[in-house]
Amino acid sequence: MFYKKDTSGYKELIPGVKLKTLTYGNKTLLSEFLIEQGISLPKHHHPCEQTGYLISGSMLLTIGDETYEVTPGDSWSVPSDVVHSAAASEDSVIIEVFSPVRKEYLPENLLKE
């Protein structure tokens, strides 16, 4: 699968948080998140391992009991089923990989309301 950069096709997950699945295979899924300044992602967990990279902006990222101030170029990994959350200090662009594939993030599932 190949993805060519396109500024359309984002799905709003919650107000202020947009997601676009860029590409995926049998074991991994690559996504881009746009998070508006002041928006917080509540504590949550899922069975997927999650690895991320901050392209632009800044945020506070909590993984388990530790909180990190994340700036462009920083990266992280969240193990399966570990509680995590984030709060955007600025408009932020994030790239994340999920393994195994998050089925709900597949393009055909994102189209469903």
Assigned domain for 6 exists = no
* pLDDT for residue 90: 98
Q: What CATH number corresponds to the domain at position 20?
A: 2.60.120.10
Assigned domain for 80 exists = yes
Contact 45, 6 (CB under 8 A): no
Per DSSP, the three-state class of 110 is: helix
Assigned domain for 3 exists = no
Assigned domain for 111 exists = no
Q: What is the span of the domain harbouring residue 47?
A: 15-105
Q: How confident is the prediction for the chain on average, in pLDDT?
A: 94
| Sign for the pseudo-dihedral over CA of 77, 86, 7, 15 | positive
Query: In the structure, what pLDDT confidence band is assigned to residue 111 with cuts at 50, 70 and 90?
Result: low
Assigned domain for 113 exists = no
Assigned domain for 7 exists = no
* pLDDT for residue 107: 84
> How many domains does the chain divide into?
1
pLDDT digits over 62-108, tens only?
999 999 999 999 999 999 999 999 999 999 999 999 999 999 999 88
pLDDT digits over 34-61, tens only?
999 999 999 999 999 999 999 999 999 9
Assigned domain for 8 exists = no
**C-alpha dist (Å) from residue 8 to 5, 18, 38, 66, 99:** 9, 11, 23, 35, 25
Assigned domain for 64 exists = yes
The model's pTM is: 0.91
